[in-house]
Structure 1
């Protein structure tokens, strides 16, 4: 490459095309705009941009469509992938409804709201998460133990009241899965799994058109895949067709590599669509892009941006941790330093151990943590700082939830 060649940043290309940076990344992903990686960041030659402009003009000035890239599956999943890129930035309003079990602070609810769905109710027992949920949403939250018949009935009655005799479009829930074990060749459930069975009871009563169930990727390997098979069997027994695969949140503009198993089911005869990735790994939103500006922002409790005060010795130790590595050998999933020019590693709160900032010798703030989970800045978390971090670490990234919701929307529209 000639050193005199002018190289454009993603933001420069976006301004020249009068589109968002997300659109530019999609064009690069699709191979419509050729780019070079310099220091881990995409750069576009002016001649390549002009070529793209000529191509766009030749195709009547419309955005160039691309064939979505299908991720490599971790199993031989039967998946119906759907391109959601046409609605990603211009979501159309709709009359679809959604409700959320084990809703936490509301990551799933926020994502469905971003996709134009009308959230009608949430349910969770976590007091501080409830405080956050009520701060950011107008619809009802039922706070309490789902195993209580009283709480379960209250949630069901609230949803039905909100729907005014209409069907619930989607019921979602990130159910706990630790209560499965084996007895001989048979899967059995211990008392810890009552939460999962309570979810099935609520599905049976509300009869939502679609179900979305989210869980950690590790569920796939539990009891050599038998747990996943049982969950699919249980859902089918309620009259639903189900498809399942693993999604990576970074594929949907979340600045974080976070893989989750996603079950999608329906009882209406529609296809179950999982959203095709919007960007490829080389174009992921980086930690730097997500939180660099917050380095210059002073501590502000109102926006959840308060730096942890570390002793000088701890600062030295944090600064010495390589990117992608942990401060402690026996805690590989916590105290891990986020990579700066890549999507972050999975954001967690693990017994007080949170992710280390790549540039400053400290752990990341609640607001930085929220940014890496794709929560908008106006989404404010309540409770103590420690409880706020637990809420964020447990949340479904809103942008991944948005992608799932848009896939369901297209499934209904294609019926």
Structure 2
């Protein structure tokens, strides 16, 4: 690693969204200064995805041919064969991800040694990225468990997760750190006390928590609100740290807290993220992907029976819509199933991507020539009609129906359906709006992530969810389909991370 490069230490990496985006950020003259030195992830499947991507990045960094990587994506060779064909690259990728899933708090000896070695051999700038799981922050302060005689900090692994993050800051003394978390961190209370101010204090002075000596202090900046005093950034409202992703080119209402820590000796003030001109809709993000049909989860699955079921549903749904809306609106919809669809499709469609050019360049790999992770799940027959209703309703109203909008004949047999508790039990992703937050719940049943096309009558595929999270199309997710959904739902949008990376570059190389 050259001294001019920026060493990246990625903790709680998941499938690599934050690292992918940061490492893709370039200088004004087209150079890519970020080099991920270590990615730590405890989940086996996410770790496998992370390692495959590290392999791909290493091939590109060393300007080696990508033919074998594409052969793997096309299913022509196995992943093991791919790694076997490039032993040096494979060794490097595995070393980056610690040769296996590892967990802070349990595998500290190995993780800390690797970080110390990287810091020792690298004389250039260093950046720490990642965010401890949200539960960790419920223990951010040291005083909150006072009075609880039964509490033993040594037995609470979440305590160690938080402390370990601060420990790595002290080990690496990074120029910059980026910490991401759920918006709930802003209002989380322990013993009636909001803990976010204490979290900020801990991050400003990590050495006072870990008891390490000669640890630099950090200034904590918002990425969306300018500080009144950049030399000593303080913010009137904790919500100033909240990033609304849909305002920055992400086709999804993902609201996350992201803190930018800048070492006290760095005098440059970070810029804030630039608002996008136009928000990106679901249809713009995924409409060029191949059409698919859903499957049956409780009966034998075949295309003919699916087409028959959806055709019957279409006639029934047309009658329902004519009662609920005016006849013209109902008649304008084509609810009949698209014929000849499969549940999995790897061939590119002939549709032209409708997204902005900047996103098109981000997503599309002209050498890929295959669609990855694009497969549907099975659904109950009764739910197919509800999915079609949601999609049709959204085409008329430009919003997803609540439980109160459903005709009684479509109401599921849930005791609390009419209570309002599950008003969003079925939620369609409206075509002309950005998506709701993609979460790991998408791995469960798909009810919150219904596709906007009633003729496909299904929930989103992993690839469609990945598009909404802004993963490039050549980013393959390893593991079972359920594993893949979980990985995508837990990730940081790489396209947002790339924008943060550009801000870091300007900080380090002003």
**TM-score normalised by structure 2 residue count:** 0.57
In the other structure, the counterpart of 1:31 is none
Q: Does residue 187 of structure 2 align to residue 228 of structure 1?
A: no
* Selected match of 1:307 from 363, 373, 376: 376
Q: Distance in 1 between matches of 2:471 and 2:139?
A: 39
Q: Distance in 1 between matches of 2:128 and 2:458?
A: 39
In the other structure, the counterpart of 1:337 is 428
* Selected match of 1:374 from 457, 470, 476: 470
Q: CA deviation at 1:325?
A: 4.8
Q: Distance in 1 between matches of 2:423 and 2:6?
A: 41
Q: Does residue 276 of structure 2 align to residue 286 of structure 1?
A: no
Q: Distance in 2 between matches of 1:273 and 1:228?
A: 22
How many residue pairs were aligned?
317
Q: Distance in 1 between matches of 2:475 and 2:261?
A: 29
Secondary structure, counterpart of 2:196 in structure 1: helix
Q: Distance in 1 between matches of 2:430 and 2:256?
A: 20
Q: Does residue 438 of structure 2 align to residue 363 of structure 1?
A: no
Q: Does residue 249 of structure 2 align to residue 253 of structure 1?
A: yes
Aligned CA distance change for structure 1 residues 145 and 334 (closer, same or farther; 3 Å) = farther
Q: Distance in 2 between matches of 1:388 and 1:205?
A: 33
* Selected match of 1:137 from 36, 44, 54: 54
In the other structure, the counterpart of 2:111 is 155
Structure having the higher strand fraction is: 1
Conserved? CA contact 2:178–2:261, under 8 Å: yes
| More off after superposition, 155-164 vs 94-103 | 155-164
In the other structure, the counterpart of 1:319 is 388
Q: Distance in 2 between matches of 1:380 and 1:259?
A: 25
| More off after superposition, 167-176 vs 213-222 | 167-176
Q: CA deviation at 1:177?
A: 2.9
In the other structure, the counterpart of 2:24 is 114
Secondary structure, counterpart of 1:124 in structure 2: coil
In the other structure, the counterpart of 1:56 is none
**TM-score normalised by structure 1 residue count:** 0.70
Q: Distance in 1 between matches of 2:475 and 2:112?
A: 27
Conserved? CA contact 1:265–1:272, under 8 Å: no
In the other structure, the counterpart of 1:348 is 439
Secondary structure, counterpart of 2:384 in structure 1: helix
In the other structure, the counterpart of 2:126 is 169
Q: CA deviation at 1:264?
A: 0.7
Q: CA deviation at 1:168?
A: 4.9
Q: What 5-or-longer segments of structure 1 have no aligned partner?
A: 1-93
Q: Does residue 270 of structure 2 align to residue 273 of structure 1?
A: yes
Q: Distance in 1 between matches of 2:468 and 2:434?
A: 9
Q: Distance in 1 between matches of 2:499 and 2:424?
A: 26
Q: Distance in 2 between matches of 1:154 and 1:185?
A: 27
| More off after superposition, 200-209 vs 215-224 | 215-224
Q: Distance in 1 between matches of 2:168 and 2:178?
A: 13
Q: Distance in 1 between matches of 2:426 and 2:469?
A: 17
For the pair shown, the structure with the greater C-alpha radius of gyration is 2
Q: Distance in 2 between matches of 1:225 and 1:413?
A: 40
Aligned CA distance change for structure 1 residues 182 and 133 (closer, same or farther; 3 Å) = closer
Secondary structure, counterpart of 1:187 in structure 2: coil
Q: Does residue 280 of structure 2 align to residue 296 of structure 1?
A: no
Secondary structure, counterpart of 2:203 in structure 1: helix
Q: RMSD of aligned C-alpha atoms?
A: 2.8
Q: Distance in 1 between matches of 2:498 and 2:472?
A: 13
Secondary structure, counterpart of 2:439 in structure 1: coil
Q: C-alpha deviations, 1:257-296, integer Å up to 9, x for none?
A: 211111111213234525323314xx11111011111143
Aligned CA distance change for structure 1 residues 356 and 217 (closer, same or farther; 3 Å) = same
Q: CA deviation at 1:342?
A: 1.4
